Amino acid sequence: MGQSIKPRRRGEIFAFLVVFSGVLFAGGPAYSSCDVLKVNGANEWRPFSWRTPELGEMKGIFPAIIHHVSKTVPVRSEYGPDLPWNRLFALLEHGSIDVLAGAYLSAERQTKFELSHPVHEDEVTVFIRAGMKAKPDGLDGLIGLRGRAPYGVHLGEDNNKFAADNLVIDSQSLDDIAGDLEMLTDGRFDYILMSRSYGKKAVSTFGFDGQIEDVPWTAARRSVHFMFSKESPCVTLLPEFNAVIDEQLQAGFLDEFQTGFDTAGGFKNTAPSADTVAE
């Protein structure tokens, strides 16, 4: 028979597990420091974030703020490729990306992610054909019509439920905003739900003035935030992000960027870049 093994006392087992756990996780994926900030965001949500068609670079208000933060902390930003909106949130939740450069506030997102101070409040409204006979005077006026909305549009918990229960809305990326506006004028759908400033600029830029108009009422006002993964070591940068956001807003940064976006073409990639605006 082999030598019998005496059972260890509970204290010894607990001490062993503590030491073993420390050794096991010390050499694993580091959650102690943030050397590279993995960023992603909306492909076409001007002026908040967009990608240039030539280089795939991310531009806009949110990348500009990241650029400014990188001057105060030793971290390199790395921008991921264009991905479906729902997949971005799944990757963020699991820590595969560190931060989402702009998304609407919601109760669910507040529980899943760490949110920055609000960068902007976006007004979501409805765009319709100018010659529409029975113009909707509220969300209930959209019942029976065919609509379209970009991924990520959030109307608030109650209005989201109303839309899900009563409206027919095709969620799309809206990367080809000119094509979507043309389909609206052709009657292939009846309305587009999107940011008022973004939509008005698109209508003007692509020559749909007089053909497409935004309704006078507001479907929702949603604050827009950076959203950090709770699984990321870079969540420790949140205080630095908040400090830069507060500083830039007080200095009129958002107004300056919005003015540049409105006057420089906006949809033609000539709006101020992160390098010029965030200085």
Between residues 56 and 203, the one the model is more confident about: 203
Q: What is the pLDDT of residue 80?
A: 93
Query: Which amino acid would we find at residue 32?
Result: S
Q: What is the pLDDT of residue 262?
A: 56
| CA distance linking residue 44 with residue 177, whole number of Å | 9
Closest to 146 in 3D by CA, of 167, 132, 163, 177: 167
| CA distance linking residue 48 with residue 63, whole number of Å | 8
Q: How confident is the model at residue 275 (pLDDT cuts 50, 70, 90)?
A: very low
Pair of tokens at residue 249: 């807003």
| CA distance linking residue 191 with residue 149, whole number of Å | 9
Q: How confident is the model at residue 263 (pLDDT cuts 50, 70, 90)?
A: low
Host H or E run for residue 213: strand 212-214
Q: What is the mean pLDDT of the chain?
A: 82
Q: What is the pLDDT of residue 258?
A: 65
Instruction: Note the pLDDT tens digit of each residue in 25-82.
Output: 333 333 458 999 999 998 888 889 888 777 678 888 999 999 999 988 989 999 999 8
Q: What is the pLDDT of residue 129?
A: 97
Q: What is the pLDDT of residue 245?
A: 94
47: preceding bond cis by omega (within 30 degrees): yes
Q: What is the pLDDT of residue 273?
A: 36
Report the alpha-carbon angle 211-125-64, nearest 5: 105
Q: What is the pLDDT of residue 261?
A: 61
Q: What is the pLDDT of residue 274?
A: 36
| CA distance linking residue 150 with residue 68, whole number of Å | 28
Alpha helices (runs of H) in the chain, residue ranges in sequence order: 10-26, 61-69, 85-93, 107-112, 157-166, 177-186, 196-205, 238-250, 253-263, 274-277
Q: What is the pLDDT of residue 97?
A: 97
Reported pTM: 0.75
